[in-house]
Copies of this chain bind each other. A is one copy, B any other.
Amino acid sequence: MADASTIEKVGRRCSIARSLEVIGEKWSILIVREAFWGRTRFSEFRDALGVSSDILTDRLATLVEGGVLERVPYRESGSRERYSYHLTEAGRELAPVMAALNSWGEANRPSEYGRSAEYRDAVTGEAVELAFHTADGRLVDQSGVTFVRGPAVIAR
């Protein structure tokens, strides 16, 4: 997907493009998914995804730079200090992106398996769903939502 040079061309005015600058490369979103699922170590990401270690090194660095992951030192008994990768607050705020991709895939790219992720209120444990709502709290079906260019990109 988009990297820094793409952004250069598209312009920094669109925040979708700016998001893709951080999480738009191959593997990035899947790494974030694994992080949500509780994986923190280089080898866990590598083994879960089958991504090669050079790419993983690069993606982890981009995600750390982008504020999505945080390098946290840890030490297992009998081992030297190593680093693990944990979602930051900004990383956890990617939950809507994950949920949106998830439910689009379930609806439009069905598989024979069941749900691949379940979203919960971290406090109460209640299942939650992602949806559009108006200012007064009325839920609006996604198929009835359009979007238009905002002030940042009107002039293009």
List chain A positions with a Cβ less than 8 A from chain B: 1-3, 6, 9-10, 12-22, 24-30, 33, 36-37, 48-50, 66-67, 89-90, 92-109, 111, 113-124, 126-135, 137, 139-140, 142-153, 156
Take A99-B147, A121-B134 as given contacts and tell me if A24 and B26 are in contact as well, using a CB distance cutoff of 8 Å: yes
For the complex, give the distance between the alpha carbons of A5 and B50 in Å. Answer: 11
Closest 6 CB pairs of A and B: A15-B105, A113-B152, A115-B150, A19-B105, A114-B151, A18-B109
Known A37-B147, A126-B135, A128-B140; further 10 A-B contacts with Cβ < 8 A: A2-B29, A13-B116, A16-B33, A90-B104, A94-B100, A100-B130, A117-B149, A121-B144, A122-B144, A133-B139
Q: Which residues of B contact A134 (CB under 8 A)?
A: 121, 124, 126-128
A-B pairs with beta carbons under 8 Å apart, 12 shown: A15-B117, A16-B29, A16-B117, A19-B104, A21-B109, A96-B142, A97-B101, A99-B100, A114-B152, A119-B145, A128-B132, A137-B137
